[in-house]
Amino acid sequence: MNNFWKTFLAALCGTLAALFICWLLVIAMIGSIAALSQKSEPSVPSSAILKIDLSKQVGERTKNDPFAGFNPAALQFKISNESTLGVYDAVRAIKQAADDPAIKFIYLTGCDSPNYGISNLEEVRKALSNFHNSGKAIIAYGVNYSQGGYYMASVADKIYMNKDGMAQIMGLGTNMMFFKDLLDKLGVQVELIRHGKFKAAAEQYIRNDISPENKEQNLVMLNSIWNTWVKAICKSRSITPEVFNDAVNNLKIWDAESMVANKLADSSITNTAMIQKLCNLFGVKNDKNLKFVSLADYAEAKVKSDAKAKDKIAILYAEGEITMDGKEGITVKELCPVIKKISRDKSIKAVVFRVNSPGGDAQAAEIIREELQLLRKEKPIICSYGDYAASGGYWISAQSDKIFTDATTLTGSIGVFSLSFNYGKGLKEHLNINTVSIGTNAHSTMGTGVSPLKPEEQAYMQQFVEKIYSQFTRIAADGRKLPVAYVDSIGQGRVWTGVDGVQKNLADYIGGLDDAVAFAAKYAKLSSYKTVDYPSVKSLEENLLAKFNNLGDGDEASKVLTDPEALIKKAYKSLTKFKGVKTYARMPYVYEFTY
């Protein structure tokens, strides 16, 4: 027996030692790859063309990943390894280029597939328009043009198009799916409890067609965004909106010749001819002497904060769905400690709160709002809206000192709803699972997902919705210094664009993140400052370590895939996991526009 225990303990110690050594090797491997992946700061030639490829992503914030380009580990563990240029840095780079004698002109490409959010398109185009006013040229060339790409390209002095290219400019649109008929076949009943005639969130689960109110708000919203684009395009191209919309409505725009004929392009040329034009403008004989610098590289090399400045402006990013403790998006667990940290930092004199969220959990939104208001007692908060600042996204930001919104931002959506999913019939019909509810009181099993809500239970849940809606309208009214009755009249769950939101007093100014930062500096009376971003961006090393720590989840997933019975158990577990009826302050949809 003694020999057994000696052998067992020796094996145990050996195993633990081996695991520890393996863990150290993993850490060393990640560090080594990171070190090898480090690249030197890009250099800018003494004479160069700033090349802006619209297919390269411009997102909410800059993420410089040292693994980008060479990252087998990221591919193995399905972690994104793309570096992203943030819109604030992109705008500052274009502004810097206007005064930089090394930059001779801007060359716009990638016009067929801009990789920008709709508000980032607007903010970068405004920066390009300001660059144009500096006297330097902007040249745009596209093999094909999407309408979002053309919206950007239209700011250029000259627009060229490949002679065999195509253009698809047909107006803005979106598609919506309604699932009631499918859910009826599956035996799934969805009960929607809401306040707001325009609160169309979850309407797709209880209807098989769009409601008149939802159709109305979507048409108004789409027309508002389209009119913003048309106004900018027509001003740049010296044509009238009537002429432009007539060409769009009658499908007159489709190839290079039609683009030139409708005054949307200056010339249709070949790739070779375009290169020659660039050579002529840059003052060289052949393309070998053309010197380009990408927007991302130029930003990295030239966009710097004032290192000597002691005062700081914090840019606090809030992007995604609002939850208590989700794996991504805006979470109470992660954001609130960051807000406390900013509050304690005496060197931070003002905060720019960048919101890009369709909303989410109403309780989570209120906790975040309360924490922000404690911060606001210490420092001014200037808000900047991205693609979305709606419902819960508006809830957390309505009481900022000032609000900047892009004209194309989707905002408002002041409304609340609750959902109750009833799977009982579907479990019986499709999985042959019978459910029996047992409880101590009349409503003990309410909201467990196996039986419909009773009328008194629906009334019970309606109380929550009405209370939260009243709270929401009061928060918005206090923040915007408006009567509650007025907020209710423009609320009711209705989604507005930024330009309409300013007219309705939901926001103060049309402007981007760069405008909000400049305003915050003046508001805090800062002559010099540097910006700091919060929360910090997680490095790939941190993401990889998290993946290693959660390898057990992958084992469980593989078992489910190879075991049909386990698959059924997992499906049922996910259905029964839902407890109660959740209350949301959220937009109807995350819109995907065709642009």
| Statement to judge: residues 362 and 487 lie in one domain | yes
Of 94 and 492, more confident: 94
Residue 247 has a pLDDT of: 96
Q: How many other CB atoms sit within 10 Å of the CB of residue 25? A: 10
Residue 246 has a pLDDT of: 97
Residue 333, SS3 per DSSP: helix
Q: Is residue 237 part of a domain?
A: no
What is the rounded CA–CA span in Å between residue 302 and residue 70? 25
Checking 74-83 for CB contacts under 8 A at 24+ apart, the result is 74/540, 74/544, 77/543, 77/544, 77/547, 79/540, 79/543, 79/544, 79/547, 81/540, 82/57, 83/296
CATH label of the domain that carries residue 325 = 3.90.226.10
**Single residue among 268, 302, 336 that ends a domain in this structure:** 302
Number of domains the chain contains = 2
What is the rounded CA–CA span in Å between residue 425 and residue 430? 8
Q: Is residue 182 part of a domain?
A: no
User: Quick check: 399 pLDDT over 90?
Assistant: yes
Of 342 and 197, more confident: 342
Q: Which residue has the tokens 């009631």?
A: 180
What is the rounded CA–CA span in Å between residue 544 and residue 489? 49
Of 132 and 80, more confident: 132
| Under 8 Å between Cβ of 398 and 480 | yes
Residue 187 has a pLDDT of: 83
| Under 8 Å between Cβ of 180 and 210 | no
Beta bridge partners, 49, equal: 105, 292
Residue 38 has a pLDDT of: 52
Q: What share of the chain has pLDDT > 90, as a percent? A: 56
Give the predicted TM-score (pTM) of the model. 0.84
Q: Which residue has the tokens 């408006």?
A: 482
| Statement to judge: residues 266 and 411 lie in one domain | no
What is the rounded CA–CA span in Å between residue 28 and residue 269? 53
Task: Tell me the average pLDDT of the chain.
Answer: 84
| Under 8 Å between Cβ of 64 and 301 | no
Q: Which of 71-75, 130-134, 149-153, 181-185 has the lowest average pLDDT? A: 71-75
Q: Which two tokens stand for residue 65?
A: 């990943």
Residue 201 has a pLDDT of: 65
Q: Is residue 67 part of a domain?
A: yes
Of 40 and 327, more confident: 327
3-state DSSP of 84-120: EEEHHHHHHHHHHHHHCCCEEEEEEECCCCCCECHHH
Q: Which two tokens stand for residue 350?
A: 């003002």
Segment 101-122 mean pLDDT: 94
What is the rounded CA–CA span in Å between residue 134 and residue 155? 13
Residue 538 has a pLDDT of: 66
Residue 324, SS3 per DSSP: coil
Q: Is 135 left (phi over 0), alpha (psi -120 to 50) or beta?
A: left
| Statement to judge: residues 281 and 384 lie in one domain | no
Top-ranked range on mean pLDDT: pick from 28-37, 176-185, 265-274, 544-553? 265-274
Residue 434 has a pLDDT of: 81
What is the rounded CA–CA span in Å between residue 216 and residue 197? 11
Beta bridge partners, 59, equal: 86
Residue 365 has a pLDDT of: 95
Segment 458-473 mean pLDDT: 88
| Statement to judge: residues 290 and 363 lie in one domain | no
- Count of H helices and E strands in the chain? 23, 24
User: Quick check: 553 pLDDT over 80?
Assistant: no
Closest CA to 507 of 583, 425, 370, 397: 397
Of 432 and 504, more confident: 504
User: Quick check: 106 pLDDT over 90?
Assistant: yes
Closest CA to 390 of 320, 326, 488, 474: 320
User: Quick check: 183 pLDDT over 90?
Assistant: no
Q: Which of 6-15, 398-407, 435-444 has the lowest average pLDDT? A: 6-15
| Statement to judge: residues 286 and 375 lie in one domain | no
Segment 337-363 mean pLDDT: 95
In the residue annotation, 83 being an active-site residue is answered as no
Of the residues 146, 268, 357, 391, which is catalytic?
391
Q: Is residue 102 part of a domain?
A: yes
Closest CA to 582 of 481, 489, 499, 461: 461
| Under 8 Å between Cβ of 457 and 233 | no
Residue 61 has a pLDDT of: 92
Residue 270, SS3 per DSSP: coil
Sheet with 359-361, edge to edge strand ranges: 189-195, 416-422, 582-586, 359-361, 322-323, 330-331
Q: Is residue 17 part of a domain?
A: no
Q: Is residue 144 part of a domain?
A: yes
Give 29's pLDDT tier (boundaries 50, 70, 90). low
| Statement to judge: residues 280 and 394 lie in one domain | no
Segment 333-344 mean pLDDT: 96
What is the rounded CA–CA span in Å between residue 490 and residue 488? 6
Q: What range defines the domain where residue 483 resides?
A: 312-586
User: Quick check: 577 pLDDT over 50?
Assistant: no
Segment 57-77 mean pLDDT: 61
What is the rounded CA–CA span in Å between residue 516 and residue 397? 14
Residue 567 has a pLDDT of: 45
User: Quick check: 505 pLDDT over 50?
Assistant: yes
Give 478's pLDDT tier (boundaries 50, 70, 90). very high
User: Quick check: 310 pLDDT over 50?
Assistant: yes
**Single residue among 302, 334, 368 that ends a domain in this structure:** 302
| Under 8 Å between Cβ of 205 and 180 | yes
In the residue annotation, 420 being an active-site residue is answered as no
| Statement to judge: residues 419 and 293 lie in one domain | no
- Per-residue b or e along 124-152, where b marks 16 or more CB atoms closer than 10 Å to that residue's CB: bbbbbeebbeeebebbbbbbbbbbbbbbb
Of 233 and 194, more confident: 233
pLDDT of 250-284, one tens digit each? Answer: 999 999 999 999 999 999 999 999 999 999 999 99
| Statement to judge: residues 386 and 258 lie in one domain | no
| Rounded (10°) CA dihedral 526, 528, 530, 531 | 30
Give 76's pLDDT tier (boundaries 50, 70, 90). very low
| Statement to judge: residues 451 and 563 lie in one domain | yes
User: Quick check: 555 pLDDT over 90?
Assistant: no
Q: Is residue 410 part of a domain?
A: yes
What is the rounded CA–CA span in Å between residue 345 and residue 312? 9
| Statement to judge: residues 289 and 373 lie in one domain | no
Residue 154 has a pLDDT of: 97
Q: Is residue 184 part of a domain?
A: no
User: Quick check: 131 pLDDT over 60?
Assistant: yes
| Statement to judge: residues 265 and 355 lie in one domain | no
Of the residues 51, 63, 126, 199, which is catalytic?
199
Q: What DSSP string runs through 519-563?
A: HHHHHTT-SS-EEEEESPPPPHHHHHHHHHHTHHHHHHHHHHHH-
| Statement to judge: residues 283 and 344 lie in one domain | no
What is the rounded CA–CA span in Å between residue 209 and residue 425? 23
What is the rounded CA–CA span in Å between residue 348 and residue 376? 12
Residue 182 has a pLDDT of: 84
Pairing of strands 582-586, 416-422: antiparallel
| Cis before 535 (ω within 30) | yes
Residue 77 has a pLDDT of: 34
Residue 568 has a pLDDT of: 44
User: Quick check: 562 pLDDT over 50?
Assistant: no
* CB-side neighbour CA atoms (13 Å) of 494: 22
User: Quick check: 11 pLDDT over 60?
Assistant: no
